């Protein structure tokens, strides 16, 4: 009854004004006309629910005051306890209630915004008196003001500030500022905000309060997204890592998954390439537990629905949860075995509109480009190879050519083109911008975001048409939550991602471009001269490969991809049935299309021959005159296009229950969901579907002892009717030991929690096939055979086609996890540790024991078994002071798998067995030195190899000592491509207006087997050769120091193209993945700006690895992808109030 | 008011659903597989058209020896003394090949006939087990089809027998899940089984294909009789038919790779099988060996190359036209096959006299004139007509640009099957591979007759001379001893069947360690002005020539097959 009016009106005026700004901006972006917030008075827009029976008027008024901002002013003589009324209204205006209440009484009312004056009918004097009293009250108060910020100096809007022991209070505005009139006798001000430690400050004589709130270290109230819901972090007993919005935005990586690498435990992202718009890494949660990489990929859900993830604008993401153990993934049942990535997008919160603008501009360049040899080196080492094979034989490059290459005297006839240098720019730019608005009130909350990304590629523009790489992306999101009634709300989620990708036209797989450059000899062409593609002529023996090959210069290709997502959800509280019960349902729709436009063209190629080819006896001085010979014709740009599209929808409907009975807290969930995807790649005419039931029951006592049951009951169409449904249960428990009395005696430990989980999940990924249970089929036109003497047409043949396995079923995964969370020193030091074991069985394999005399394409059977075990540890130290704060955190994850059964036959030597080794283990020969001249003369002292050795050739180890080096002498070499151990270190600090952050990420127990151009000189006899092969090769002079065998064309297969440990390289690395320095200015009371931050950040800035030849994350075979990039960005972030 | 909103909302959701799909909940929601409109075993054997197609699929599994692996050098001839691969067959020439190498199919291992042969045998078994179900086809025709399947099976088993000795006998349509014991039959039982299979097939097969224009290439009585004769000759030969095994081992104890004793009757059986075929050919016609037109070279070319010519008893034909870039083409020309000097020297002069005979007229300074016409049709020799000019095989010549030019590094190029290797002769030619030709039966008969009678009979001479006369060579000198006659027959077979996979089995079944141990040579021809000089040079030493082991007579079973525990016992010398 004594709320301070001025404070409140200040607050509300402000809100109304800003609302108008929000509406303008919203209209500007998308939502023209869909949100109309009225600026009418409080009484006009406030609707009240009230159910009271036989209560005094005073009680009714105080109840209204509690649930709204209305304040009643009256004299006791007018309203007394004798008047007892019942009232039951829902969503009614205050007038309606008052009319009801005062019907038949002599009470009149006057409403002025949120003040309600009651007086005796016709006694206007009484009314005036009441109004006077309020004004008289004013001088008895004093005005306090101040500002609330966090440790970094960021304002905390929405902080509740009130006088202790009184009801006088305000909420801080978007700048964290507040003005509060308090009675003179007020003693203590209390400041509180969710997630921060509350503070109580004596008022004394102060009138200005600069308050810094510290974050609540234990994070009791922090919630984490879990499968089909959220859970307080404190209550989680499974294994879940989560990343917040701020972390994701901090990384300038161009895809979301890469920005997670190194930040969380149990999650690995291996980025193999950096093509603009197409650089998604390979993801694994706790490594690989099936027999193939393809069957081990996690389920990725955005807002609970399987959809595009990597191309989201990081500014749209609220959080990402990585669900790792059985208890967190059991609800996904048959699809949960490989872990789940849950992405939650941002939604509006009640409050004044926040407008946030971010833009950064950066330059990027490859982390590492492979170096290839120049023309002179090529010619001399090629000749060397030939002479090594036959000292008396002929050589490919004449002394004249070698001299021309050495002196670079004739760049047209004897070119020396560094193809990467010729075709690539040293760096390219990228631009990213996002503006988003969020806010709302009790009824409607909105988050609207528009993002733009422009990534330029490395290609130079060598042609009139745009045969370069670039990528542009437009993100648009509008998330809207509407409270229809006090118990009903709906949420709408719309998202559109439009991407336009350009690249040179290619008739081959997209990654052929770098391969073409790797294969091109430096002498094959001087490049483009006067618009002509020049190719070196027949004076150098044939087999030219230019960077243009196979079809650079044959046009351009643009791919337009559009990805539309739409969700509508409804939540209905069912407290009227039983308290704590709720119903929700959601329907999601996704549509994706891609349109590829090819503009193809042919250009003439010009062979540059010296004149003497045509006129052998031309005068000496004219011999090297260039004669251009045209091949093919220039054509005009053609056009063709192709389209693909896909559509799917998802529906879920659920009952939630959440209630506390004293110290017993109980929650439950029952859900039914189903999804359908149209136009799948196999049997596109038959949509593929999933359906499942989800059940969850969680219980805790005093928030100290926790137990959760999770289960999924799922059906998958991949299995035969009657065997389609599986039940996947999991149980987990937690104990907050630190809440026990005996632990309170150890003050150093502020938090100790033990967690454990055990359960079963499934995996129905079966190598991209569908309906493997189908019976055997025959092929009615399998091939042809030609009878007769003169009948050109073949007779059609028929044959067995596929053999079915009606009993095929899903992979079963049994997972266990134990974890400890510890906090020391009032939460400054935090340690979290998880240990897991997974046993995967029923993995689809084909039998190896089937005899050769049953020569059929064997059906997959559920026989494989793999175990996977590992641990995760995270240590964090955090210290926050007013002007200076810092934190350092280190995380480490290990996952190591082992094949337990894959129907392997006993091998001739135990070390040949794949059983007991990691999935995808490489086997190869062991390098045992190079043959010396002396060894060759005593060749019979050594094991026999399959190749007659010469000095400088590799000698392989005879592992079984049988005197012969053969297939039985290959053993496991190297670690898997996907690292067994990954980790990261984050270090951040802030001082006054500066903030600074670095993150290192690293991986070890990972190897790369060099292949293709990185392994084989003159591969396929003529391809270009990596510099490192030349540098390391054996020659009689370098016999002592050589690391690689001699160059020899006959010995290429034996020395270079044989898998041996000489090509297996440790690809461990430590990377300065991310660094950022920023400067912020807040309290800028101009242009409605509340904060400006400028920053510089970088990505992949430094790499430390033993693998120097190429980037340690990249692929090392011939199918080279676009290289990985490093970036430096300059950014600006503005928050408007 | 708000209730209306909620109702509206719910009906919206329901509409949304209905527009997406029928409202299906629970198990009905999951998609069902497509209706089985695809073909299965029942539909194939419900229609003679499909059943025939299925059998034609079996024909497609007949060996195609000249196309094993386009990028490698795995030609059986390259293991013999008549050919050498330019880049070598490393695992063979240096002797490092093991049973483990056989695990991985053709190329990495030897030839892996073991894994390759079963596909066709399975088709035949399925066919034989199901053909009787086919309605609306005459019993006679079904019997003929079944006989064709048996003949194909016999051909495939005969190859397994010649490469491995005794083999497990699969004569059922085995389900995929089969486990159990499938031991090798003894060598003798394997031979008997193949012969029985032929005997079962022969009565139901036509003697000749009536409509050769449309159907030549399907099995005939003559083809099945030929396989029977080929099998019996191999079984009668000393490799298996001997008092002692060629090498001791478990397989020898169990008589899996020899007959267990010498049995002279086997030679009689071999002779009779060949004789029966020859007698019928000579009385009934349909096949002919001496179609001499006077153009001996052309005659010989037609004999192996031309469909419907009358000499071929069994042929494989995977397509209609020869493909210059594949089948008979560049790949083969690229040094996959290089004839040795030893082979060239085996060819007599056109007058029939061996070049070692001083009266033969052989001129070492002009070695390629007036020779057996089959030399020119098998081997590309210097100075012979080639692509409308003369072949230049001297170093620096068109066919041998450098001394190491792989297609001709022995001084000789391939001619048989690839002709002039141009569009005039090869391009557009109708192809076949002669799996069995009548001359082989004549020579097998002569060989067996010589063994049975402890010396050549007139009939034996007659049969060899028919083959020689066809290319204008005179008769063999009379009065040859048993050994000399045998040698003459084996020599004749080498000359006749280059690249037809006859030589390897001849030197194996006669346990010709001496042939394995030969130091082979190539020829370097130098040209100075118009003077050619000839320089013999040794080819790389093959490991078995210095480090002999009789294990080479038979192939190794893939190591992993032994490990599958169905009772396979490895051939001696290949155990690990």
Does the beta-carbon distance from B96 to A945 stay under 8 Å?
Answer: yes
pLDDT value at A951 more than 90: yes
pLDDT at A801: 87
Contact A753, A734 (CB under 8 A): yes
Mean per-residue pLDDT over chain A, rounded: 86
Cβ–Cβ gap B57/A782 under 8 Å: yes
Task: Name B52's Cβ contacts closer than 8 Å, sequence gap at least 6.
Answer: A795, B145
Q: Which residues from chain A sit within 8 angstroms of residue B16, using beta carbons?
A: 568, 587, 589
pLDDT value at B78 more than 60: yes
**pLDDT tens, B280-304?**
999 999 998 877 788 999 999 999 9
CA distance from start to end of chain A: 32
Percent of chain B with pLDDT over 70: 89
* pLDDT at A475 > cutoff 90: yes
pLDDT band at B333 (very low <50, low <70, confident <90, very high): low
Q: What is the reported pLDDT for A32?
A: 34
Top-confidence residue, A631 or A129: A631
Measured between alpha carbons, how far is B466 from B470 in angstroms, rounded to an integer? 6
DSSP state of B232: H
B100 touches chain A (CB under 8 A): yes
Lookup result for tokens 């308290």: A579
Mean pLDDT is lowest, of A599-608, A670-679, B136-145, for A599-608
Chain segment A292-304, per-residue pLDDT in tens: 888 899 999 999 9
Contacts of B52 in chain A (CB under 8 A): 795
- Counting Cα atoms < 13 Å in the Cβ hemisphere of A958 gives 12
Nearest CB to B53; choose among A572, A721, A797: A797
Greater pLDDT, A825 or A496: A496
Please name which of A761, A753, A725, A734 lies closest in space to residue A227, comparing C-alpha atoms.
A761
Angle at B103 between CA B98 and CA B109, to 5 degrees: 55
Nearest residue to A116 (alpha-carbon basis) of A82, A181, A69: A69
Size (chain A), residues: 1137
> What is the band of A19 on the pLDDT scale with cuts at 50, 70, 90?
very low
- Residue A5 — very low, low, confident or very high, per pLDDT cuts 50/70/90? very low
Please count the other Cβ atoms lying within 10 Å of the Cβ belonging to residue A810: 27
CA distance A413 to A407: 13
Residues of B in contact with A582 (CB under 8 A): none
Contact across the interface for B57 and A849, Cβ inside 8 Å: no
Instruction: Give Cα separations from A819 to A242, A542, A754, B396, B398 (angstroms).
Output: 15, 65, 6, 78, 78
Q: Which of A61-75, A699-713, B37-51 has the lowest mean pLDDT?
A: A61-75
Residue A8, pLDDT above cutoff 70: no
Quick check: A796 and B29 CB within 8 A? no
Q: For chain B, what is the mean pLDDT? A: 88
Query: In the 3-class helix/strand/coil scheme, how is A261-274 assigned residue by residue?
Result: CCCCCCEEEECCCC
Over residues B128-147, the mean pLDDT reads 95
Angle between helices B265-284 and B438-452 (to 10 degrees): 140
B383 touches chain A (CB under 8 A): no
The residue among A863 and A204 whose pLDDT is bigger is A863
8 Å CB contact of B430 and A789: yes
Residue closest to A190 by CA, chosen among A214, A166, A206: A166
Token pair recorded at residue B412: 């000789």
**Do residues A762 and A331 lie in contact, with contact meaning Cβ atoms separated by under 8 Å?**
no
Q: Which residue's structure tokens are 């993830």?
A: A309
Q: Is residue B330 very low, low, confident or very high in pLDDT (cuts 50, 70, 90)? A: low
Higher pLDDT, residue A98 or A1037:
A1037
What is the per-residue pLDDT for B331? 56
User: Looking at residue A219, what is its pLDDT?
Assistant: 47
Tell me what pLDDT residue A441 has.
87
Of B13, B94, B320, the CB nearest to A946: B94
pLDDT of residue B27: 63
- Residue A138: other Cβ atoms inside 10 A: 11
pLDDT at A704 over 70: yes
Tell me the pLDDT tens digit for each residue of B523-551.
999 998 889 999 999 998 888 998 899 99
For residue A744, pLDDT over 60 is answered with yes
Which residues on chain A are in Cβ contact (under 8 Å) with B30? 689-691, 715-717, 724
Distance CA A1115, CA A368 (A): 12
Mean pLDDT of A884-897: 94
Query: Which of A88-97, A969-978, A1044-1053 is predicted least confidently?
Result: A88-97
- Whether the per-residue pLDDT at A113 is higher than 90: the answer is no
Are the beta carbons of A948 and B126 separated by less than 8 Å? no
In the predicted structure, residue B401 carries a pLDDT above the cut 90: no
Give the B window 414-433 contacts with A, CB below 8 Å: 430
Query: Do the chains contact at A789 and B216, CB–CB below 8 Å?
Result: yes
Cβ(A557)–Cβ(A506) below 8 Å:
yes
The residue among A189 and A1079 whose pLDDT is bigger is A1079
Reply yes or no on whether the pLDDT at A151 is more than 80. no
pLDDT over threshold 80, residue B265? yes
Residue A394 banded pLDDT, cuts 50, 70, 90? confident
For B182, name the nearest residue in chain A, comparing CA atoms only: A851
- Is the CB of B101 inside 8 Å of chain A's CB atoms? yes
Q: Tell me, what's the ipTM?
A: 0.92
What residue of A is the nearest CA neighbor of B405? A393
DSSP calls for B406-437: GGGTTS-EE-TTTTTSSTTTTTTPBP-EEEEE
Instruction: Give one DSSP letter per residue of A444-482, joined into a string.
Output: EEEEEEEEEEEEE-SB---SSS--S-EEEEEEEEEEEEE
Task: Measure CB to CB from residue A484 to each of B6, B57, B217 and give the nearest one.
Answer: B6
Contact A792 B566 (CB under 8 A): no
Instruction: For residues B143-156, give the mean pLDDT.
Output: 97
Residue of A nearest to B179 (CA): A850
Using an 8 Å CB-CB cutoff, list chain B residues near A691.
Answer: 25-26, 29-30
Contacts B556 to A, Cβ<8 Å: none
Q: How many helices (H) and strands (E) does chain B have?
A: 23, 10
Band (pLDDT 50/70/90 cuts) for residue A9 is very low
The alpha-carbon gap from A963 to the nearest alpha carbon of chain B, in Å, equals: 10
CA distance B75 to chain A (A): 18
Q: Which residues pair with A84 in a beta bridge?
A: A56
Question: What residues contact B505, with CB distance under 8 A and at least 6 apart?
Answer: B162, B234
- Would you say residue A321 has pLDDT above 90? yes
Q: Is the pLDDT of residue A18 over 90?
A: no
What integer pLDDT is reported at residue B334 of this predicted model? 67
Identify all chain B residues contacting A966, using CB atoms and an 8 Å cutoff. Answer: 91, 96-98, 100-101
d(Cα A26, Cα A33) in Å, to the nearest integer? 9
Pick the closest to residue A269 from A279, A256, A284, A254 (CA basis). A284
Residues of chain A above pLDDT 90, percent? 48
Q: Is the pLDDT of residue A788 over 70?
A: yes
Q: Report the 3 state secondary structure along A35-87.
A: CCCCCCCHHHHCCEEEEEEEEEHHHHHHHHHHHCCCEEECCCCCCCCCCEEEE
B chain contacts of residue A393, beta-carbon cutoff 8 Å: 402-404
Report CB contact under 8 Å: A853, B215: no
Segment A640-659 shows an average pLDDT of 93
**Three-class DSSP category at B34:** coil
Q: Which helix (H) or strand (E) holds A1081?
A: strand A1069-1086
- Give the residue on A whose Cα is nearest the Cα of B177: A850
Q: How far is B210 from chain A (nearest CA, A)?
A: 11
pLDDT band at A956 (very low <50, low <70, confident <90, very high): very high
pLDDT of residue A112: 76
Contact: B118, A91; criterion CB under 8 Å: no
Q: Decide: A484 and A1093 in contact? Cβ < 8 Å.
A: no
Distance, in angstroms, between B137 CA and closest chain A CA? 18
- Chain B, 1 to 40: residues with Cβ < 8 Å from chain A are 1-2, 5-6, 9-10, 12-13, 16-17, 20-21, 25-27, 29-34, 36, 38-40
> How confident is the model at residue A143, as a pLDDT?
79
Determine, for residues B39 and A676 on separate chains, whether the beta-carbon distance falls below 8 Å. no
Specify the 3-state DSSP secondary structure of A960. coil
Report residue A459 as tokens: 């290609």
How many angstroms separate the CA of residue B38 from the nearest CA in chain A?
7
Region B324-334: mean pLDDT is 57
User: What is the predicted pLDDT for the residue at B16?
Assistant: 54
Residue A110, strand partner residues: A117
Residues contacting residue B282 through CB under 8 Å, at least 6 positions apart: none
- Please say if the pLDDT value at position B329 is more than 70: no
d(CA B24, CA B17): 10
List chain B residues with CB under 8 Å of A484.
Answer: 2, 5-6, 9
Strand runs (DSSP E) across A275-420, as ranges? 282-285, 299-302, 305-306, 317-323, 340-345, 351-366
Band (pLDDT 50/70/90 cuts) for residue A1120 is: low
Is-contact A279 A273, C-beta < 8 A?
Answer: yes
Q: Chain A: nearest CA to B251, how far in angstroms?
A: 19
Q: CB-CB: which of A780, A788, A907 is closest to B216?
A: A788
Q: What is the pLDDT of residue A161?
A: 84
Which residues from B are below 8 Å from A724, CB to CB? 27, 30
pLDDT per residue over B99-120, tens digit each? 888 887 555 446 677 888 899 9
Owner of token pair 């242009």: A1087
Q: Name the residue in chain A with its Cα closest to that of B117.
A: A853
Residue pair B123/B57 in contact (Cβ under 8 Å)? The answer is yes
Among A161, A155, A190, A208, smallest CA distance to A11 is for: A161
* pLDDT reported for residue B5: 55
Please determine, for residue A21, whether its predicted confidence score (pLDDT) is greater than 60. Answer: no
Buried/exposed A159-191: b ≥16 CB within 10 Å, e otherwise = bbbbbeebebbbebbbbbebbbbbeeebeebbb
Tokens of B297: 């070279």
Residue in B5, B87, B559 nearest the CB of A484: B5
pLDDT at position B7 is 52
């Amino acid at each position: 009854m004594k709320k301070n009016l001025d404070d409140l009106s200040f607050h509300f005026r402000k809100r109304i004004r800003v609302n108008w700004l929000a509406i303008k901006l919203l209209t500007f972006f998308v939502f023209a006309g869909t949100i109309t917030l009225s600026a009418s008075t409080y009484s006009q827009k406030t609707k009240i629910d009230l159910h009271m029976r036989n209560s005094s008027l005073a009680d009714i008024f105080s109840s209204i005051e509690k649930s709204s901002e209305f304040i009643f002013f009256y004299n006791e003589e007018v309203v007394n306890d004798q008047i007892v009324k019942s009232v039951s209204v829902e969503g009614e205006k205050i007038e309606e209630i008052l009319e009801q209440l005062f019907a038949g009484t002599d009470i009149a009312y006057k409403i002025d915004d949120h003040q309600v004056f009651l007086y005796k009918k016709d006694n206007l004097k009484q009314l005036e008196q009441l109004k006077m009293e309020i004004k008289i009250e004013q001088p008895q108060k004093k005005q306090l003001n101040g500002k609330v910020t966090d440790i970094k100096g960021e304002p905390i809007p929405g902080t509740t500030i009130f006088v202790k022991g009184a009801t006088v209070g305000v909420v801080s505005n978007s700048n964290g500022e507040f003005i509060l009139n308090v009675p003179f006798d007020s003693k203590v001000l209390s400041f509180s905000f969710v997630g921060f430690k509350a503070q109580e400050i004596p008022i004394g004589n102060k009138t200005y309060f600069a308050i810094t709130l510290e974050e609540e270290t234990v994070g009791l109230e922090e919630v984490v997204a879990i499968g089909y819901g959220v859970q307080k972090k404190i209550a989680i007993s499974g294994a879940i890592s989560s990343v917040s919005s701020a972390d994701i935005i901090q990384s300038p990586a161009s895809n979301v998954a890469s920005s997670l690498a190194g930040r969380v435990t149990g999650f690995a992202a291996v980025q193999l390439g950096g093509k603009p718009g197409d650089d998604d890494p390979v993801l694994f949660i706790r490594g690989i537990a099936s027999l193939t990489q393809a069957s081990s990929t996690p389920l990725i859900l955005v807002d609970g629905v399987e959809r595009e993830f990597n191309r989201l604008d990081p500014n749209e993401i609220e959080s990402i949860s990585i669900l790792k153990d059985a208890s967190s993934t059991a609800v996904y049942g048959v699809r949960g075995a490989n872990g789940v990535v849950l992405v939650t997008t941002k939604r509006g919160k009640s409050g004044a509109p926040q407008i946030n603008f971010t833009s950064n501009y950066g330059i990027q360049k490859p982390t590492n480009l492979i170096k290839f040899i120049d023309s002179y080196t090529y010619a001399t080492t090629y000749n060397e190879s030939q002479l090594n094979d036959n000292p008396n034989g002929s050589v490919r490059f004449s002394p004249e050519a070698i001299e021309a290459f050495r002196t670079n005297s004739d760049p047209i006839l004897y070119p020396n083109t560094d193809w990467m240098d010729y075709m690539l720019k040293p760096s390219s730019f990228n631009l990213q911008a996002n503006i988003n608005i969020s806010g709302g009130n009790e009824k409607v909350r909105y988050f609207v975001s528009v993002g733009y990304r422009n990534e330029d590629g490395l290609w130079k523009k060598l042609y009139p048409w745009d045969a370069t790489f670039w990528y542009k992306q437009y993100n648009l999101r509008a998330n809207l939550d509407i409270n229809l009634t006090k118990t009903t709300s709906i949420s709408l989620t719309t998202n559109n991602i439009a991407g336009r990708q350009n690249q040179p036209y290619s008739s081959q797989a997209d990654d052929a471009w770098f391969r073409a450059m790797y294969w091109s000899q430096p002498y094959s062409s001087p490049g483009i001269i006067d618009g002509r593609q020049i190719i070196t002529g027949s004076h150098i023996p044939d087999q030219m490969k230019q960077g243009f090959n196979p079809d650079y210069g044959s046009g351009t290709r643009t791919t337009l991809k559009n990805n539309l997502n739409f969700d509508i959800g409804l939540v209905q509280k069912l407290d009227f049935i039983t308290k704590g019960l709720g119903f929700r349902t959601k329907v999601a729709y996704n549509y994706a299309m891609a349109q590829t436009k090819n503009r193809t063209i042919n250009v003439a190629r010009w062979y540059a021959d010296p004149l003497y080819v045509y006129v052998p006896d031309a005068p000496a001085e004219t011999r090297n005159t260039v004669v251009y010979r045209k091949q093919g014709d220039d054509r005009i740009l053609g056009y063709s296009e192709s389209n693909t599209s896909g559509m799917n929808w998802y529906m879920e409907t659920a009952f939630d229950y959440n209630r506390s009975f004293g110290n017993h807290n109980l929650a439950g969930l029952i859900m039914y969901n189903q999804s359908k995807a149209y136009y799948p790649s196999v049997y596109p005419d038959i949509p593929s579907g999933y359906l499942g039931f989800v059940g969850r029951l969680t219980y805790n006592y005093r928030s100290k002892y926790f137990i959760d049951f999770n289960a999924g009951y799922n059906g998958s169409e991949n299995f035969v009717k009657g065997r389609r449904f599986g039940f996947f249960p999991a149980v987990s428990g937690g104990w907050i030991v630190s809440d026990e009395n005996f632990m309170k005696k150890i003050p150093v430990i502020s938090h100790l929690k033990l967690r454990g989980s055990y359960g079963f999940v499934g995996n129905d990924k079966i190598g991209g096939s569908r309906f493997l249970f189908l019976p055997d089929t025959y092929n009615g036109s399998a091939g042809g055979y030609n009878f007769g003497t003169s009948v050109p047409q073949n007779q059609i043949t028929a044959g067995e086609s596929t053999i079915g396995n009606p009993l095929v079923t899903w992979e079963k995964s049994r997972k266990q996890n134990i974890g400890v969370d510890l906090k020391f020193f009032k939460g400054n030091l935090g340690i979290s540790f998880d240990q897991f074991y997974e046993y995967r069985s029923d993995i689809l394999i084909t039998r190896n024991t089937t005899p050769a005399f049953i020569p059929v394409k064997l059906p997959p059977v559920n026989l494989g078994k793999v175990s996977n075990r590992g641990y995760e540890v995270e240590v964090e130290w955090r210290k926050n002071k007013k002007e200076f704060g810092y934190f350092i955190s280190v995380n480490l994850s290990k996952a190591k798998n082992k094949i337990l059964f894959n129907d392997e036959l006993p091998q001739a030597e135990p070390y040949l067995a794949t059983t007991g080794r990691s999935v995808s283990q490489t086997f190869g020969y062991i390098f045992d030195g190079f043959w010396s001249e002396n060894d060759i003369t005593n060749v019979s002292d050594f094991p026999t190899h399959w190749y007659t050795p010469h000095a400088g050739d590799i000698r392989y180890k005879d592992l079984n000592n049988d005197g012969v080096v053969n297939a039985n002498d290959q053993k496991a070499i190297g670690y898997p491509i996907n690292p067994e151990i990954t980790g990261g270190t984050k270090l951040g600090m802030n001082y006054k207006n500066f903030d600074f952050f670095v993150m290192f990420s690293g991986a070890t127990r990972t190897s790369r087997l060099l292949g293709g151009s990185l392994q084989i000189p003159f591969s396929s006899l003529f391809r270009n050769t990596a510099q490192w092969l030349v540098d390391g090769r054996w020659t009689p002079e370098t016999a002592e120091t050589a690391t690689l065998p001699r160059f020899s064309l006959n010995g290429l297969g034996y020395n270079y193209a044989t898998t041996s440990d000489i090509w297996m390289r440790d690809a461990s690395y430590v990377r300065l993945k991310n660094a950022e320095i920023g400067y912020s200015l807040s309290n800028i009371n101009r242009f409605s700006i509340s904060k400006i931050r400028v920053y510089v950040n970088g990505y992949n800035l430094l790499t430390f690895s033993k693998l120097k030849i190429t980037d340690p994350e990249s692929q090392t075979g011939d199918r080279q992808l676009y290289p990985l990039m490093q970036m430096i960005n300059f950014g600006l972030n503005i928050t408007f109030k | 008011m708000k209730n209306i909103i909620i109702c509206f909302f719910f009906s919206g959701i329901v509409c949304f659903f209905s527009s997406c799909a029928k409202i299906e909940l629970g198990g009905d929601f999951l998609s069902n597989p497509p209706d089985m409109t695809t073909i299965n075993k029942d539909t194939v054997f419900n229609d003679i058209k499909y059943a025939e197609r299925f059998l034609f699929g079996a024909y497609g599994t007949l060996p195609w020896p000249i196309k094993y692996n386009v990028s490698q050098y795995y030609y059986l001839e390259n293991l013999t003394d008549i050919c050498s691969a330019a880049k070598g067959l490393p695992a063979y020439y240096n002797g490092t090949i093991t049973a483990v190498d056989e695990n991985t199919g053709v190329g990495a291992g030897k030839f892996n006939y073991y894994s390759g042969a079963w596909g066709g045998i399975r088709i035949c078994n399925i066919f034989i087990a199901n053909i009787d179900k086919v309605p609306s086809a005459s019993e006679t025709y079904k019997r003929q089809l079944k006989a064709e399947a048996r003949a194909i099976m016999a051909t495939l088993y005969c190859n397994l027998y010649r490469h491995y000795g005794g083999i497990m006998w699969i004569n059922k349509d085995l389900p995929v899940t089969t486990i159990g014991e499938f031991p090798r039959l003894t060598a003798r039982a394997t031979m008997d089984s193949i012969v029985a299979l032929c005997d079962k097939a022969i009565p139901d097969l036509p003697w000749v294909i009536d409509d050769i224009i449309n159907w030549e290439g399907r099995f005939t009585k003559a083809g099945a009789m030929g396989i029977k004769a080929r099998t019996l000759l191999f079984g009668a030969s000393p490799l298996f038919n001997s008092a002692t095994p060629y090498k001791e081992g478990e397989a020898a104890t169990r008589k899996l790779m020899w007959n267990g004793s010498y049995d002279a009757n086997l030679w009689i059986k071999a002779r009779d099988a060949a004789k029966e075929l020859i007698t019928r050919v000579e009385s009934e016609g349909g096949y002919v060996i001496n179609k001499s037109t006077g153009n001996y070279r052309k005659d010989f070319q037609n004999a192996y190359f031309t469909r419907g010519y009358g000499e071929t008893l069994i042929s494989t034909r995977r397509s209609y036209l020869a493909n210059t870039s594949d089948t008979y083409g560049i790949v083969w020309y690229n040094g996959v096959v290089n004839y040795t000097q030893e082979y060239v020297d085996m060819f007599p002069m056109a007058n029939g006299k061996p070049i070692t005979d001083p009266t033969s007229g052989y001129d070492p300074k002009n070695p390629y004139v007036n020779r057996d016409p089959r030399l020119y049709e098998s081997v590309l020799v210097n100075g012979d007509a080639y692509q409308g000019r003369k072949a230049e095989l001297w170093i620096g010549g068109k066919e041998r640009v450098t001394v190491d030019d792989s297609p001709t590094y022995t001084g000789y190029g391939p001619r048989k099957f690839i002709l002039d290797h141009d569009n005039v002769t090869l391009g557009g030619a109708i192809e076949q591979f002669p799996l069995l030709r009548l001359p082989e039966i004549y020579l097998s008969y002569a060989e067996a007759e010589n063994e049975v009678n402890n010396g050549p009979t007139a009939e034996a001479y007659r049969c060899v001379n028919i083959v020689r006369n066809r290319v204008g060579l005179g008769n063999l000198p009379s009065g040859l001893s048993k050994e000399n006659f045998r040698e003459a027959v084996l020599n004749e077979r080498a000359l006749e069947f280059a690249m037809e996979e006859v030589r390897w089995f001849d030197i194996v079944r006669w346990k010709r360690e001496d042939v394995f141990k030969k130091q082979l040579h190539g020829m370097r021809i130098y040209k100075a002005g118009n003077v050619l000089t000839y320089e013999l040079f040794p080819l790389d030493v093959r490991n078995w020539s210095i480090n002999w082991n009789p294990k080479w007579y038979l192939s190794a079973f893939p190591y992993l097959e032994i490990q599958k525990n169905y009772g396979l016992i490895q051939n001696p010398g290949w155990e690990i």
